[in-house]
Amino acid sequence: MRDGLEAYIVTGAMPLPITDEEIVRRTLSDKEAFALLIERYEAKLLRYLERLGIGVREDREDILQNAFIKAYKNLNGFDLTLTFSSWMYRIAHNEAMSFFRTKHARPQLILSEEGEALITELKDEDSDASALAELRLSSEELAKAFATLSPQYRDALTLRFFEDRSYAEMSDILEVPVGTVSTLIHRAKRALRSALPKQFLP
């Protein structure tokens, strides 16, 4: 562990992980404790930024560095009754959107086999299941269809199906009401379904 910091508290014989919020409290009096949060979220957020379409690793690292700096500088204003995870994802998300606007860059989407959960969801919800036999897609085909979606639809599907975020967490990250999250996901799945290549029954 970095600088001798401990990420566990001992209760009886079992060490229990310290919550993110407890680390935030510790960081307010011990700045070095913020390293624990970086360790917890660095890999997750780099993966998230890649899924948002930041194709170059150096760009992802720069964006994440900016996100961690902003989080650290604004830690005093963090509401400890909220979830740090959603707050950190929101900052990273906003930094990614700023990157796209500033660089006039287009997303370079790379979707792995984890997209299978999304494909299953689309098949299960298809209104004409008798006509749709199955979707056999490579990750490249899925990424191509995904790239045709509007940014808000891509964000909603990424958070829900690739990051496994709850509606409440998505509401915090995207800064929209929970009801709007539900609508976004529904419309995004419909848009993606229409963009995907389909294989029909004879």
Note the pLDDT tens digit of each residue in 97-154: 999 888 766 666 655 555 555 665 665 555 444 333 344 555 677 777 888 888 889 8
pTM of the model: 0.75
Query: Crossing angle of helices 57-73/84-103, nearest 10°?
Result: 130
Instruction: Quickly list H helices, 18-138.
Output: 20-29, 34-52, 57-73, 84-103, 116-125
Token pair belonging to 6: 């401990």
Q: What is the mean pLDDT of residues 35-55?
A: 91
Long-range contacts of 159-162 (CB under 8 A, 24+ apart): 159/89, 160/185, 161/114, 161/115, 161/117, 161/118, 161/121, 162/48, 162/51, 162/111, 162/114, 162/115, 162/118
HEC string of 134-176?
A: ECCCCHHHHHHHHCCCCHHHHHHHHHHHHCCCCHHHHHHHHCC
Contact predicate 93/52, CB 8 Å: yes
Other CB atoms within a 10 A radius of the CB of residue 110 amount to: 13
- pLDDT of 46: 94
- pLDDT of 51: 84
More confident residue, 112 or 200: 112
Contact predicate 196/123, CB 8 Å: no
Q: Which fold is adopted by the domain 2-103?
A: Rna Polymerase Sigma Factor; Chain: A (1.10.1740)
Residue ranges per structural domain of the chain: 2-103, 113-200
Q: What is the mean pLDDT of residues 166-176?
A: 92
- As a whole number of angstroms, the distance between CA 195 and CA 146 comes to 8
Between the alpha carbon of residue 190 and those of residues 34, 149, 150, the distances in Å are 41, 10, 12
- pLDDT of 130: 39
Scanning the structure block, which residue is given the tokens 């560095």?
A: 65
Token pair belonging to 163: 């990051």
pLDDT bucket at 13, cuts 50 / 70 / 90: very low
Q: Which residues of 34-60 are buried (b: 16+ CB within 10 A; e: fewer)?
A: bbbbeebbeeebbebbbbbbbeeeebb
Contact predicate 182/167, CB 8 Å: yes
Task: Choose the CATH number for 113-200 among 3.30.70.890, 3.20.20.80, 1.10.10.10, 1.10.490.10.
Answer: 1.10.10.10
pLDDT tens-digit readout, 75-107: 988 887 778 999 999 999 999 999 988 876 666
Equal CATH topology for 2-103 and 113-200: no
